[in-house]
């Protein structure tokens, strides 16, 4: 299948061929305009779904065969976000030979948008058989592979898309997104900038460029890009969200709330927007509303410790200590529990008069230091995950929770065996390498864990990978090396508070108290010492 890594090696013998012609002839009957599909394709090339739909609807009313317009009409509807009608069109019949590659690609996009990864892969395979050297298809394949956890294969697909069409905005955008995951924020900027030189008004590129600038702390540049995005696409919710983030970081709570309210319900299910809403309501003194937002986010993402801390803090503000203890749950008992969560939970126990539990947690909170790798609870008994794993052991969605459950149960040898099997079946999945390292670490093999984490970092050097490498190195007594790795990460991601905290602790570990204090001062100035 195209979305698997084995296909990549088979494709290297193919030479580049011409892109799909937008002027391909289509069969017509009656008095249908012969240029309707060509006009639609020209509009689709500009990303204008409405302008593409109009001539197609007119042509269909005048006798154009439905199969001749099926692919283009389906794409036009997808661009407008009308997935229900797009499905009716794309699956309502066959495609004309001249547009079959496009039609199958659109079916794949629809399935991908609705989370059916296997069906999306099958549709992209059909499109590949018809037109194997189409840049936009390889961009779609790259997105599919990334969502499926095949990060290395996603990178290869994105590289292929850029080679096939170095000026394709979507290919350049995807390459930038994957570079951002693989190497960091700074390295991604040139890719977004290259895309904007080709398509200066591209909405997707402008949004990702603005977001990356903001994460880098380049707020003035971010605001300029956001304003352009709002001008190109008035009412763009991503532009509004980013401006709200900027206002919130500047301490302008009222302005941030006003901007965010303009997005309506468009960002209701976007986790970062839910978090921002909660923070703004908390700052505004609306603890009740803040609790609602944080509680909803915790239900959406049970493993999100930041959201859980915010929920506990908001509950404590309302003097709801019992609910605060319940919200902290088992997370406060884990070795990875952040000191601030321990402090909040300890204070909640104090409020309930449970002095022994409070003292134990507050003592742990006072012993702030390096936190171990994040072995999060799975939420299900080991046997439940074993059943799903046995049905499809090489499927990451089955293997990953099973490995985590084994680690949680202390079955380190079995966890290593299962993780290694997953790694061999999915060598391009960073998560597989991380779990193989986690299993070794729980089995007291820090050196073996570090090797696995390093291999994961070659694919995806993000914060969870950094935290694991840092912890393994410090277990091995390599504090200076760990500080070097964190500093390298910060050169790419200078605004990361978690990495700054790691480096502050690391500086203290090697006796550089002045350096640690300088970093702590930066964190305090940004209001990041605690959530």
At residue 285, φ and ψ (nearest 5 deg) are 85, 10
Quick check: 3 and 141 in contact, CB under 8 A?
yes
pLDDT number for residue 528:
57
Q: Angle 237-249/253-261 helices, nearest 10 degrees? A: 170
pLDDT digits (tens, 9 = 90+) for 195-232: 999 999 999 999 999 999 998 989 999 999 999 999 99
- Quote helix, strand, coil % in the chain, to nearest 5: 70, 0, 30
Confidence grade of residue 529 (pLDDT, cut at 50, 70, 90): low
pLDDT number for residue 16:
29
pLDDT digits (tens, 9 = 90+) for 70-79: 999 999 999 9
Inform me whether the pLDDT recorded for 18 exceeds 50.
no
The predicted model scores a pTM of 0.80
Inform me whether the pLDDT recorded for 285 exceeds 80.
yes
Confidence grade of residue 524 (pLDDT, cut at 50, 70, 90): confident
pLDDT number for residue 435:
86
More confident residue, 5 or 419: 419
Reported residue count of the chain is 531
pLDDT digits (tens, 9 = 90+) for 455-513: 999 999 998 899 999 999 999 999 999 999 999 999 999 888 889 988 998 998 899 99
Inform me whether the pLDDT recorded for 53 exceeds 70.
yes
Full set of structural domains in the chain with CATH: 5-178 (1.25.40.10), 268-366 (1.25.40.10), 382-525 (1.25.40.10)
pLDDT number for residue 2:
57
Residue by residue, DSSP assigns 278-301 as HHHHHHTT-HHHHHHHHHHHHHH-
Inform me whether the pLDDT recorded for 14 exceeds 50.
no
Inform me whether the pLDDT recorded for 21 exceeds 80.
no
Inform me whether the pLDDT recorded for 116 exceeds 50.
yes
Confidence grade of residue 419 (pLDDT, cut at 50, 70, 90): confident
pLDDT number for residue 203:
92
Nearest residue to 347 (alpha-carbon basis) of 318, 310, 371, 313: 313
pLDDT number for residue 15:
29
- Region for residue 19 given its phi and psi (left: phi exceeds 0; alpha: psi -120 to 50; beta: otherwise): beta
Confidence grade of residue 523 (pLDDT, cut at 50, 70, 90): confident
Inform me whether the pLDDT recorded for 378 exceeds 70.
no
Question: What mean pLDDT is reported for the chain?
Answer: 86
pLDDT number for residue 368:
56
pLDDT digits (tens, 9 = 90+) for 299-356: 998 878 889 999 999 999 999 999 999 999 888 877 667 788 899 999 999 999 999 9
pLDDT digits (tens, 9 = 90+) for 132-161: 999 999 999 999 999 888 889 999 999 999
Q: In terms of C-beta density within 10 A (0-12 exposed, 13-18 middle, 19 or more buried), how is residue 402 classed?
A: buried
Confidence grade of residue 10 (pLDDT, cut at 50, 70, 90): very low
Nearest residue to 415 (alpha-carbon basis) of 447, 457, 380, 445: 445
- Region for residue 169 given its phi and psi (left: phi exceeds 0; alpha: psi -120 to 50; beta: otherwise): alpha
Q: In terms of C-beta density within 10 A (0-12 exposed, 13-18 middle, 19 or more buried), how is residue 443 classed?
A: middle
Mean pLDDT across 270-284:
94
Mean pLDDT across 159-172:
96
Q: In terms of C-beta density within 10 A (0-12 exposed, 13-18 middle, 19 or more buried), how is residue 137 classed?
A: buried
């Amino acid at each position: 299948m195209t979305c698997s890594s084995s296909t990549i090696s088979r494709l290297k013998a193919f030479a580049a061929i011409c892109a799909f012609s937008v002027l391909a002839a289509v069969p017509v009957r009656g008095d249908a305009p012969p240029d309707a599909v060509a006009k639609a394709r020209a509009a689709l090339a500009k990303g204008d779904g409405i302008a593409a739909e109009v001539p197609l609807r007119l042509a269909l009313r005048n006798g154009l065969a439905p199969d001749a317009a099926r692919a283009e009409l389906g794409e036009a509807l997808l661009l407008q976000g009308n997935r229900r009608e797009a499905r009716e069109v794309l699956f309502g019949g066959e495609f004309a030979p001249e547009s079959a590659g496009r039609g199958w690609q659109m079916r794949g996009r629809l399935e991908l948008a609705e989370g059916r990864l296997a069906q999306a892969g099958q549709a992209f395979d059909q499109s590949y058989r018809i037109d194997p050297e189409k840049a936009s298809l390889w961009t779609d394949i790259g997105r599919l592979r990334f969502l499926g956890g095949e990060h290395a294969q996603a990178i290869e697909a994105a590289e292929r898309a850029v080679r096939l069409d170095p000026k394709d905005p979507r290919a350049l955008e995807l390459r930038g997104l994957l570079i951002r995951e693989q190497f960091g924020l700074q390295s991604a900027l040139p890719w977004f900038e290259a895309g904007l030189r080709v398509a200066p008004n591209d909405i997707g590129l402008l949004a990702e460029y603005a977001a990356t600038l903001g994460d880098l702390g380049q707020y003035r540049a971010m605001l300029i890009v956001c304003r352009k995005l709002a001008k190109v696409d008035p009412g763009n919710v991503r532009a509004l969200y980013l401006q709200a983030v900027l206002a919130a970081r500047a301490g302008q709570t009222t302005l941030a709330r006003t901007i965010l309210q303009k997005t309506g319900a468009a960002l209701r299910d976007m986790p970062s927007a839910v978090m921002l809403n909660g923070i703004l309501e908390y700052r505004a003194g609306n603890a009740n509303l803040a609790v609602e937002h944080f509680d909803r986010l915790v239900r959406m993402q049970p493993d999100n410790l930041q959201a859980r801390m915010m929920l506990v803090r908001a509950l404590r503000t309302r003097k709801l200590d019992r609910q605060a203890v319940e919200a902290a749950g088992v997370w406060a008992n884990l070795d990875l529990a952040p000191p601030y969560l321990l402090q909040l939970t300890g204070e909640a126990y104090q409020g309930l008069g449970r002095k022994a539990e409070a003292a134990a947690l507050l003592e742990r909170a006072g012993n702030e230091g390096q936190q171990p790798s994040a072995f999060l609870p799975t939420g299900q008994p080991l046997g439940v995950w074993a059943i799903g794993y046995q049905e499809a052991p090489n499927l990451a969605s089955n293997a990953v929770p099973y490995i985590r459950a084994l680690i949680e149960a202390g079955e380190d040898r079995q966890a290593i065996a299962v993780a290694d099997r997953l790694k061999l079946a999915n060598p391009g999945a960073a998560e597989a390498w991380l779990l193989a390292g986690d299993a070794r670490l729980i089995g007291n093999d820090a050196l073996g864990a570090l090797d696995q984490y390093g291999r994961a970092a070659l694919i995806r050097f993000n914060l969870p990978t950094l935290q694991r490498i840092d912890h393994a190195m410090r277990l091995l007594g390599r504090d200076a090396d760990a500080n070097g790795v964190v500093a390298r990460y910060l050169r790419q991601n200078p605004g990361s508070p978690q990495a700054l905290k790691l480096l502050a602790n690391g500086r203290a570990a090697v006796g550089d108290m002045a350096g640690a204090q300088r970093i702590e001062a930066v964190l305090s100035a940004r209001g990041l010492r605690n959530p």
